[in-house]
Every structure is written in C-alpha cells, then in structure tokens.
Amino acid sequence: MISFENDYNTGAHPQILARLAETNLEPLTGYGADHFCESAKNKIREACGCPDAEVEFLVGGTQTNAAVISTMLKDYEGVIAADTGHVNVHEAGAIEYTGHKVLALPQKEGKLSAADLSSYIAGFYADETYEHMVFPGMVYISHPTEYGTLYTKAELEALAEVCRSRSIPLFLDGARLGYGLMSRHTDVTLQDIARLCDVFYIGGTKVGALCGEAVVFTKQNRPPHFINSIKKRGALLAKGRLLGIQFDTLFTDNLYFEISRHAINMAEGLKKVLEGRQIEFYLKSPTNQQFVILENERISELKKDVMFSFWEKYDENHTVIRFVTSWATAEEDLAALDRALEEYSS
Amino acid sequence: MISFENDYNTGAHPQILARLAETNLEPLTGYGADHFCESAKNKIREACGCPDAEVEFLVGGTQTNAAVISTMLKDYEGVIAADTGHVNVHEAGAIEYTGHKVLALPQKEGKLSAADLSSYIAGFYADETYEHMVFPGMVYISHPTEYGTLYTKAELEALAEVCRSRSIPLFLDGARLGYGLMSRHTDVTLQDIARLCDVFYIGGTKVGALCGEAVVFTKQNRPPHFINSIKKRGALLAKGRLLGIQFDTLFTDNLYFEISRHAINMAEGLKKVLEGRQIEFYLKSPTNQQFVILENERISELKKDVMFSFWEKYDENHTVIRFVTSWATAEEDLAALDRALEEYSS
Amino acid sequence: MISFENDYNTGAHPQILARLAETNLEPLTGYGADHFCESAKNKIREACGCPDAEVEFLVGGTQTNAAVISTMLKDYEGVIAADTGHVNVHEAGAIEYTGHKVLALPQKEGKLSAADLSSYIAGFYADETYEHMVFPGMVYISHPTEYGTLYTKAELEALAEVCRSRSIPLFLDGARLGYGLMSRHTDVTLQDIARLCDVFYIGGTKVGALCGEAVVFTKQNRPPHFINSIKKRGALLAKGRLLGIQFDTLFTDNLYFEISRHAINMAEGLKKVLEGRQIEFYLKSPTNQQFVILENERISELKKDVMFSFWEKYDENHTVIRFVTSWATAEEDLAALDRALEEYSS
Amino acid sequence: MISFENDYNTGAHPQILARLAETNLEPLTGYGADHFCESAKNKIREACGCPDAEVEFLVGGTQTNAAVISTMLKDYEGVIAADTGHVNVHEAGAIEYTGHKVLALPQKEGKLSAADLSSYIAGFYADETYEHMVFPGMVYISHPTEYGTLYTKAELEALAEVCRSRSIPLFLDGARLGYGLMSRHTDVTLQDIARLCDVFYIGGTKVGALCGEAVVFTKQNRPPHFINSIKKRGALLAKGRLLGIQFDTLFTDNLYFEISRHAINMAEGLKKVLEGRQIEFYLKSPTNQQFVILENERISELKKDVMFSFWEKYDENHTVIRFVTSWATAEEDLAALDRALEEYSS
C-alpha cells in the first residue's frame, strides 16, 4: 500500500536512526543538559542567523503551542489565531486547557491578514467594555498553514509590524517549516522568520524526526524558568538526548533543508500526476499538502490501494481529500498513484 | 567516565533500536492507531494476566501521572500521596497545574501505610467542615518508591482494601516497575499489581526505552475519550509507532523482565562493591537505587571519575548520594567503580 | 441625572432592604444552610412547577456561568454558545479559565437556531478527526439574549430536542429572566423553562437584588458536592442569608414578577418616547433593553443629562446606544428623557 | 438560642444597613467605578498611612486569596503557608484550582516562623534538582491566624525581612483583621501591616459587613488589569456599590475599629465566663476566637441552648470546641452562656 496520508506516517530519516545507534551507550545527563542538545542549539542559532536566540526542544506540536502560548500570555490575555488555525480546531482545546481563550479571526486559505488583525485590535480598544473582554496578547500563525499555503515576506512583515505596534509577540507555528522554506514559491527565509517573529518553532515530527520541535525565542524573551514550566506541563523529556541528537543531525550538512526539498519535489510531481489525471483541485498549494475534490465512489475505490486523508465534505457526491508528500515519498509512490488513478478513472 | 547517575542516562536497548530501523519505512496511521501499538497492548494484557485491560501509551512519567490523575479525579477531589512521592515533590507542581491538590501523608522509606491512609480518610469524613476541604479521591503510590523500596504483597493488599472500601482508585506509578518486579526481595508479581490496582503504569523511559510509559486500566475504567484528554494535555504523540514498537519489543520474549533482572544483578554487585569499601549505607534498597553517605571531600574526588546523584545533605561534612544501575550497567562499570573507591579511600 | 444605563445601577428593591433589616440580628448558620435559603428554594421550586428541582444560590452571573458550565462539562467537552453570548464576549474568558472552550456559533439577534445547532453537532461527528477536537458538551443560551430578544416556546423546544437527542444539557442564562417572562411578546413561562432546560438561573442582580443568582437544576442533575465546587471557585458566600433572604423576598407575593412587569411597562413607555422623538431603532426588543442609532454629536449633548450605554459604532457619524429600564425606573425618568431628547433634537 | 458559632452568623452592622437604604436609589455606574468605592478607598489609604496604596474590593475571603495569589505568582511558583493556613485546609483547594501549589510548612499555634521560612527557602535553592520543584513565590500568613493568635511586630518584621531578601511578596490574610488590631495583646498597627506586607486584605465579612474584603496593594504592585483578572475569576460584583458603601461606612468615624474593640471586650468577658466555670482551655487566644475542651456528653447538652463550633476530636471522651464573639455579641449573650454552663456543669 502506498501512502500519501500525511507527513508523519513513517519513522525517521535513516541518518537520524544511525546517529541514535552510534551514540546509544554514551552516558549523558538528562533533561536536555547534554552536549548534543547544546550542539543542536548552536547549529539552529546559526541557521537562523540569530546568535543570541534561545532554543528549547519539546516533543510535539500541540504541546509546544500550549507551552509557548500559556507561558508568554499574561493572565488577562488570549491568543489571536485564524479560525482554521491548528490551535483553534485540532488540538482538543489545549490552549483553553491552560486557561486562555483563542481569539479566532477570519482567514483566507488559512492565512491571517495584517489588515484584519489591525482592525480587530483597534476595535477591541475602541470598545468601552474592553476590560471585561479577553485582551489580544499574542498572534499565532502557522507557516505553512493548515492548507499548505505560505505567507509572503511582505505579509509577514505587515503582521510583525502590527504586533510590534501593539507590543504583542508574533508566534509562528512551523510544524512543517522545512516544506515552507523549500517551496519553489516563497521569498521567506529562515532568517526572515527569526527576524520577524518573536518566537517560532521548527517542526521535527513532520520533517523527518521520530518526534521533536525546536522552539526559538529570538528576542531574549524566553519565559523565566522555562524548563520548570515545561516540566509542570508534563512536556520535559527525561532523555533529552533523543531530541538533541535528532536536531543535531537535521541541522548538520543541511539535512533538514535537503529532505524538505525532496518532499517539495515530490509534491510538484504529485501535482503533475493529479493534473494529468484531470483531478479537480480544491487548493493547489506551494508546499507538500495538496487538496483535491473527488467523487465519493472514486474515493471508495482509490482507498483500496492508496492511503490519503479525508478533509471535508464538498457536496453530496464529492469530498475534499488531501495528499501529502514527505522526505520519505519516493518516485515509485508517484508512479503507483498515477496507475491507481488511471484504474479508477474510467 | 562511568556513570551510575540514573537509569535514563543511555539511549535504548539495542533490540529496540534495531526494531525501529527495521520498521522505519512502513507507512502507518498516526496517534497510536497502528498495529504495533495493538500488538504491544495485547502482549501487555497477557503479561498482566488481565485480558480486558485497557492500555494506553504516553511519553513520560510526569505527563502520565498528570493525565491519569486529572482525568480520574472528580472536580472536588485531590490525590493522596506520600509526602516524598514524585507527584508531590519533583514534578514542578504538574498535578496542581491540573487544578487538583496533592494530599501529602507521612511515609516510611517512601512507603504509605494502609493504617495511615485509613486513618486519614476516616478523619476527613469525621470533620464537620469536610465539604470545605479537598476530598480524598485517589491514592498514588510508587513501586519501587523514590527510595528504591518495595511494598510487600500484604501491604499492597491492605492499601487496595482501604481504597476499595472508600470507592477510590489505587494508582501505582511504575516508572521503575521492572526493577521492582525482578528484585530478589519481593513477593509482588505484575499480575498482583494488575489485580490490586485500578490503574498503573509500566515505565519504559527508565527501563530501556527512549521514552514511553504504558498505562494499564484494569477495571474497564479508562476515562471516556481518553485520547482526546491526552491530546488536550499535549501528550498525544503523532508517531505513536515510536511507543508501540518499543513496548512491543520490550514485551517480546520477556525482554522487559530480562533487562530489569540484569539491572538488579548489577545492583546486588554494586552493594557488594560499596560494602567492600566500607561505605556507610543511608538506605540499602532491594532494587536498582542505592543510597550511601559519603564525606564531602571524598565526593569531590570521586566525581572526577564517576557520575552519580546528590540526594540530600546529611550533616555538615557528609552528603547522601545515590548510585543507580540499569539495563545498560556492565560488570566493567562495577569494577571501575571499585577501583575509583579504592583510590579515594585512603 | 436620570439613568437608563443598565438594570443594575440602583440598589435593591426596598422590600429586600426591609427584610434584611428585620432579620439582621437573627443568628444563622453560614454558607446557605439557613432557613431563609431553604424557604427561598421551596418558593422557587413551586414557581417553576418543579418540586424536585435542586436550587443553589451564587453571587453573580459570570461566576454562575463558569461554575455551572465547568462542573457539568466533561474533560473533553466545550460549551456551544452564540458568538454574541455573554460567556463568549463579556466574561473576560471566565469559561476558558476553567479549561474549557466556548464553541461559538453564528446567531440572529443574539439567538441560536436549532437548525444551526443540529447541523454543527452533526458536522462535528461527521469529521473523521473529531477525537482531536473539542466535543460539544452543553448548549448555553441567554433568555432574554444580550440584545433583549426572546426565544419562542417553539424555538426553545426545538433547541431542547436537539440537546436531548445528543444527550447534552441545555443551560439557560436568565440574568434578566424576569424581564423575559413578563414581556408582552412571549409565550414562554417559567414552567416551560424548567421543563425544557436541564439547568438555568434566575437572575437577581439585574432584577432587584443587591446581588445573587438562583441556579435551578431541573433533572436531579446537580453536580455532586456542588457546594465544594462552588467553594473551590471562590463563589461560596459565608453569609448565605444575604442570598436566601433576597430570593425569599423576591419569590414572596410575586414580587419578582411584579417588579419585572413594571420594568417592561417602563420599556414600552420608553419605546414610545423614542418613537415620538423619531429616533431610529437599531433593535426594538420585547424586553427592557432598547437599542437605537444616534448621531455622535447628539450623543455628546444627551449624555450631559442622561446615563446610557454605548453599544457599538454604527458608522463614522453614528453610534448604537442602549437604553435600559428596570424595576427602579419611574414615569418621571421617561418624562425627563423625553424632555432631554426634545432639547437636543433641534 | 444564643450563638457563639462564628463571627459571620448575623447580618451587617446597623449603620451599614442604614447607609445602604439611604443611598439605594442613586443611580451609579457598576463594577466598582462609583464614588462610594472611591471614597472608601481613600479612607482605607488614610487608615493605612499609605497614600499610594491601590485598593480593590472583592466579595469573600477564599475568592480574595485565590485572586491575589494566582495573579501575583509566576507560572513556576507556589505559595508558602502554614500547614494550618486557611488556603491549605479550608478553601476546597481553591489555590490549586488556579494551577499553583500550596507549599505547607509546620507552624506553632497557626503561626509561621521566620526561621522556618528562611530555612525552607535556603533548602530549596540548595537542592540540585530545584528546577523540577515548585519555586517559593509568595508567603501567605493569616493575622489573626485560624487559631486566633497574633504575630508580634518583631515576628512580622522578621518574616518581611526574609521575603524581601528573597524578593517574594508577603501576603497577609486579614479576614479577622479588626479583631487582631483591637486585641489588648498586640503591638501591631494597621500602618505596620501596610508597611511590612506587600499585599493584605481587610476583612469585612467577619467584621460587620454583609460581605466584602478590601485588598490593599502597598507597593504599587497591583497586577496589571486586575479588574479583568477578577472578572475572569467570576469575582467582579456588578453592583460594586454594595462593597463601596459598606467599606465607606466601616471606615467612617472609626466604625471598623470600634466594633472590633467591642468584639474583643466580649471575648475578654467570654474568657472570664469560661474560666469561672472551670472550663479547660485548649488555646486561650488574644482575639475573638476561644478554644476549649469539653466532655462529649456536656457538649450534647450545651448545644441545646448555645450554638458553637466543633473544632476537632481531643480524645475518646473530649472534643475541642470553639466560641467566637463578634461586633454583634451582647452582654446578655455572655450572661446566658454563663447560665447554660452552670446548668450543665453539675
């Protein structure tokens, strides 16, 4: 069975596994205080062009979002997000569990606009009763978004400008950051992100690691005793080496970027396959997630051979489904998909 | 440098790494819905002699304690624990973070007695103002305890009886469960634990895994939609395979028990080495943690060659330190420790 | 200065003050265990036609909403509310503070429709990823709504039917319930509400009391040890008599209904005054809140003599403002408003 | 029936009721933004000798403790309290509900010593694993304590000195502050408290008000947007006038102090009555709570005529009970108690 179900459906990039095996018996202090974590942090600082960045490793995305947001918000604040944002929809209320509201704004293809943001905040302070409302205390964006779309550099700058003018941090969820950076249709670099965001994370889980996300605080703004706050949230890994070794490997010899580029190449191939079979696109993204509209019957047939994700109902007879490539997608997978689509197209 | 610092200072048992590598490219559905997780759960059910047990995998111990306790307690309840219990001391307030109080009781060598428990609960309900106090809603014990000590079967039965008579669950933290089960000085089996506890977890992190704890609900009492509650707490691993494959390996051909037995053998050897060097014991435990009293000067010397943990100040000139063995401890480590102790003893 | 600012801008109905004075020196047990509370509960049960109802008194509305919602929701659930609902907008995130999400749905004039509700819940369960989303666990409506509008009996029945079919409770926020029940344009009685809702509260603060809301659990569904949960939330009043005496007075000789009817009569008079002065209505409600559109300049003038509330910006030159009547509004206030409007109309 | 059950068993001081009645129909803006609140705050500032103090009114003690502690603690901190402290025992876990641990220390007659406090904090930072433990972030004391005892000025100064040296705030729970200040056995003034504490509250509920506590932030340290945080906790009273008018009355013409002195006079009389009847004291306090040991049979008889509180079991045949005086206790009550004790003594 070939799988385009998501970008976390296989294990880890083989170099990561090799490195885990090589270093396996070296005794190391726990909780991230080992030299692999230190090395990985330095490589990330360098890649970000931000020598003073404070880097911390966490295990997964929802955990990272909740830990970052809840430690950076003040008691009276909530976090602004697109209504389609992962924190607003697919994290089981993890932000609210920390006692803070997600302030959901409308979006376009998963993206928040600086104009809407600015207008929302202005409206908040114009309301005479605002002391009884949740203060906008942070802006959360995902890049790539949940729809695989990307902010342009100009869009990011505009969002950052609104945040700066209101003195609230801009937080970028980079669960799939590699795929965004290696897109053929982006002018945003990792350095741009480090410059424009107050905090962001570089996703490992969806980009070749077994698990792990690297949070980067770019403005000397890591919450005090962040390790304690992570521990308090059940998010501190005893064998911190597992995260350090993985990120050290990913940020050695550009591995993170190369495997991301591979996924993008596969995604471009995927788009060609889908176009070649006259599949209607719901959203043709510049990254590794592609959304198409299929007849329900065809879906039933196709899923005998191919794993993919249901996205949402389109109409009575059609459904939006998602195909995703990753570092592990092979040319053969594309060819097999092409054959499967041929079979069920007639 | 040899290390007796703790039982999570190396990577994973080599069979686990091998298994991760073998299965690496098999595409699998995420979040624990894969066949490795299913297989691991079945093996654990069998090992527990509890075919109906509900098994869930989480990443680490603090996370597991917080998730289990906060989903099983009612709004008006807290959890009873020994005042030395991990949840009361070394989890950064993770239980309180979920809105529940830890009701700390006195202990002896880390163990809670059924008599103290029974008397505490009776006293609670005898107090006319109890509606204004935190109700005892669960009992948390660790086995082995934080001091490496073990409950006898009779002691566990007595605790379970108090819990049953008050209709509150007994939860056993088995972060080091393997070392407890393979101790030469225990009459408690895994089946006993499954029978006597309402919920417990089998520690992976400290017993040969990279990470992972297996929670076992023994009485058809898994909280409803537990997956959602785990996700809400940021504790749901996307690549659930990482946990499934590890526990499947640990529970194949008794690996979990054999590597635990090895650590116990090493601990017995460790005790002999320490005794042979006339080191005074603070607490000679039946499991893999040993606590001794050393002169501060000797500690300064010893730590040039050996990694170990400071436990607590003993008096002005002495400190309690902890030596720990694990699945990865080798005979050579014991010999090297012996030589190091010889060197600094004169 | 005359005031139409809100319905909590004066003290308490004089009969309440008199009763507090009469009973002042009678020593009573605290925390609601006094005979006035018991008597008030019985009168409320009778007025609701629900002899088995469990009644509890709390101090204010936000507190009541948070206590009821957070004790009735399960860990994995959130509360559905109109996006204009008080819990979603004007309670400073009090629901999220308890760890639960408000699931905001679109509304019309503050009202949630059964069709939208039904469709939302159906959509939730149709989504393959729903285990990662916040479960709909309760429906919150306000009656009158924040816009002074009212559900019809048929609308309430339809909402209740959806809730029943999904086994989730229907909670009605009756902060201004008296004004809803005494409206000239309603077919909903207190008995209907008790029959259709699983829990609701009868507002005291906005209907003649110094403070206090009476929560009515209609289906033997009061959360266990609710007093403890209230205490835990800082919501248990030591001198419970203050609530008991007030509600006992309000539910003696129909006082609650009569003072509500008076406010409605004043609201009908208010509408006539506003119409007579050709003021444009933004929303002409059947209860005690009326929303009109005024030129900004005229507002500046008017507020020299009259207190009212700014609601929202209408356009560059106009603002929506709110006039509210209460049990304390007098005919003279209407006459004075009429004169003030005359003065600033030319 | 005469009552010595507690100091909140009657209504409010008659001058308060009179003032509520006089001001009843004056329309006022809600939520504490009225001139009575402002006037009360000024009078409190003056009484405290602290013209810059920030004063806020809340409804009850548990609510006040939770609001103050949870807004002043940082994420990684807990609050130190005597193990008998109200926040640790009788508030249903309200502090833990806010996500923070109460760090309970031993006490003597309800009082925390500076030596124990200092030693605890020193020990915390000496522990190598302190990043995994809850940081001491605030010190909570009650004055009078739950046992009616009082800190001396020297003791308060010593506690304040430890707090200052560790940069953590000292918070004094003054639920019964009036009775402490008017004790015949104290050298502590309200000005001393304002000088030594970073925040404290002046109790109204137990000192003549229907409800209400006045929090005083003495060091320009009120948490930002505190009104929002209060609202978020369901603790913001709509009719803030109820609190403002009460405290304005209490702090006019020394009423607060005079009614407290009356209670102390009654308590001294009470002690004489109890001594005269050869009742054994468990703890003879310098304030308005007295604890005595009675035979269980005598208790059964006595409670037919007198209301008092059970405190704790003393031995099989004896119980500690509490008698409390208040502003409302009359000479006749003492005489009646004396007669009742005579009757049941033979």
- Model pLDDT for residues C171-209, shown as the tens digit of each residue: 999 999 999 999 999 999 999 999 999 999 999 999 999
Q: What is the ipTM of this complex?
A: 0.97
The confidence score (pLDDT) of residue C1 equals: 83
C13 Rama sector, left if φ>0, alpha if ψ -120 to 50, beta otherwise: beta
Among the residue ranges A184-188, C11-15, D68-72, D309-313, the one predicted with the least confidence is D309-313
Is the pLDDT at C222 greater than 80? The verdict is: yes
The confidence score (pLDDT) of residue A23 equals: 98
- Residue D48's nearest CA partner among D255, D250, D218 is D218
The confidence score (pLDDT) of residue D1 equals: 83
CB C190 within 8 A of CB C47: yes
The confidence score (pLDDT) of residue B235 equals: 98
The answer to whether D76 contacts B92, with C-beta atoms less than 8 Å apart, is yes
B305-319 pLDDT, tens per residue? Answer: 999 999 999 999 999
Interface chains of chain B (3 or more CB pairs under 8 Å): A, C, D
CB B110 within 8 A of CB B145: yes
C296-346 pLDDT, tens per residue? Answer: 999 999 999 999 999 999 999 999 999 999 999 999 999 999 999 997 665
C53 half-sphere exposure, CB direction, 13 A CA radius: 31
Q: Which residue has the tokens 């302190």?
A: D130
- Residue B101's nearest CA partner among B73, B125, B120 is B73
The answer to whether D60 contacts C1, with C-beta atoms less than 8 Å apart, is no
CA distances from residue D40 to A86, A133, D253 in whole angstroms, order as listed: 48, 27, 12
**Three-state SS at A103:** strand
The answer to whether A134 contacts C90, with C-beta atoms less than 8 Å apart, is no
Is the pLDDT at B171 greater than 80? The verdict is: yes
The answer to whether B131 contacts C99, with C-beta atoms less than 8 Å apart, is no
Crossing angle of the two packed helices C255-276 and C241-250, in degrees rounded to 10: 70
Crossing angle of the two packed helices B241-250 and B14-22, in degrees rounded to 10: 130
CA distance A215 to D268: 63
The confidence score (pLDDT) of residue C345 equals: 61
**Which residues lie closer than 8 Å to D28 by C-beta, 6 or more apart?**
C9, C10, D34, D35, D36, D241
CB A235 within 8 A of CB A61: no
- Residue A177's nearest CA partner among A196, A157, A138, A151 is A151
The answer to whether B91 contacts D310, with C-beta atoms less than 8 Å apart, is no
Which residue segments constitute the domains of chain D, with CATH numbers given? 2-7+256-343 (3.90.1150.10), 14-254 (3.40.640.10)
The answer to whether A75 contacts D223, with C-beta atoms less than 8 Å apart, is yes
The answer to whether B97 contacts A3, with C-beta atoms less than 8 Å apart, is no
A115-152 pLDDT, tens per residue? Answer: 999 999 999 999 999 999 999 999 999 999 999 999 99
CA quadruple B277, B282, B286, B289: dihedral positive or negative?
A: negative
The confidence score (pLDDT) of residue D346 equals: 52
Instruction: Kindly state the percentage of chain C with pLDDT values over 70.
Output: 99
Is the pLDDT at A42 greater than 80? The verdict is: yes
The confidence score (pLDDT) of residue D343 equals: 79
**Three-state SS at C169:** coil
Q: Which residues of D sit within 8 Å Cβ distance of A?
A: 70-71, 74-76, 99, 131-132, 135, 223-225, 227-229, 231-232
**Three-state SS at B285:** coil
Mean of the per-residue pLDDT values of chain B: 97
Q: How far is D221 from chain A (nearest CA, A)?
A: 15
The confidence score (pLDDT) of residue A1 equals: 83
Is the pLDDT at C236 greater than 60? The verdict is: yes
CA distance C11 to B346: 84
Query: How does strand D306-307 pair with strand D2-3?
Result: parallel
**pLDDT band at residue A324, thresholds of 50, 70 and 90?**
very high
**Which residues lie closer than 8 Å to A315 by C-beta, 6 or more apart?**
none
Is the pLDDT at C244 greater than 60? The verdict is: yes
The confidence score (pLDDT) of residue D197 equals: 98
Q: How far is A344 from chain B (nearest CA, A)?
A: 22
Instruction: Kindly state the percentage of chain A with pLDDT values over 90.
Output: 98
The answer to whether A129 contacts C100, with C-beta atoms less than 8 Å apart, is no
**Three-state SS at C11:** coil
**pLDDT band at residue B18, thresholds of 50, 70 and 90?**
very high
**pLDDT band at residue A250, thresholds of 50, 70 and 90?**
very high
Mutate to test the interface with C, among A97, A103, A128 (most CBs of C within 10 A): A97
Mean of the per-residue pLDDT values of chain A: 97
CA-atom Rg of chain D in angstroms = 21
pTM of the model: 0.97
CB C114 within 8 A of CB C162: yes
The confidence score (pLDDT) of residue D171 equals: 98
Among partner residues D75, D131, D229, which is closest to A223 by beta-carbon distance?
A: D75
CA distance C6 to D34: 14
Q: How far is D126 from chain C (nearest CA, A)?
A: 34
The confidence score (pLDDT) of residue C343 equals: 79
- Residue A18's nearest CA partner among B11, B151, C65 is B11
Residues of chain C contacting residue D64, judged by C-beta atoms under 8 Å apart: 234
CB A141 within 8 A of CB A172: yes
Q: How many helices (H) and strands (E) does chain D have?
A: 14, 13
Mutate to test the interface with D, among A100, A228, A233 (most CBs of D within 10 A): A228
Among partner residues D128, D133, D312, which is closest to B92 by beta-carbon distance?
A: D133
What's C210's DSSP letter? S
CB A58 within 8 A of CB A213: yes
Q: How far is D236 from chain C (nearest CA, A)?
A: 8
The confidence score (pLDDT) of residue B344 equals: 65
The answer to whether A234 contacts B21, with C-beta atoms less than 8 Å apart, is no
* C-alpha dihedral, D228 to D233 to D239 to D243, nearest 10°: -100
The answer to whether D228 contacts A131, with C-beta atoms less than 8 Å apart, is yes
C262-278 pLDDT, tens per residue? Answer: 999 999 999 999 999 99
CA quadruple B14, B44, B87, B81: dihedral positive or negative?
A: negative
**Which residues lie closer than 8 Å to B227 by C-beta, 6 or more apart?**
B31, B32, B56, B236, C131
Which residue did the predictor score with more confidence, C346 or A77?
Answer: A77
For chain D, 346 residues long, give each residue's pLDDT as a single digit of tens.
Answer: 899 999 999 999 999 999 999 999 999 999 999 999 999 999 999 999 999 999 999 999 999 999 999 999 999 999 999 999 999 999 999 999 999 999 999 999 999 999 999 999 999 999 999 999 999 999 999 999 999 999 999 999 999 999 999 999 999 999 999 999 999 999 999 999 999 999 999 999 999 999 999 999 999 999 999 999 999 999 999 999 999 999 999 999 999 999 999 999 999 999 999 999 999 999 999 999 999 999 999 999 999 999 999 999 999 999 999 999 999 999 999 999 999 999 766 5
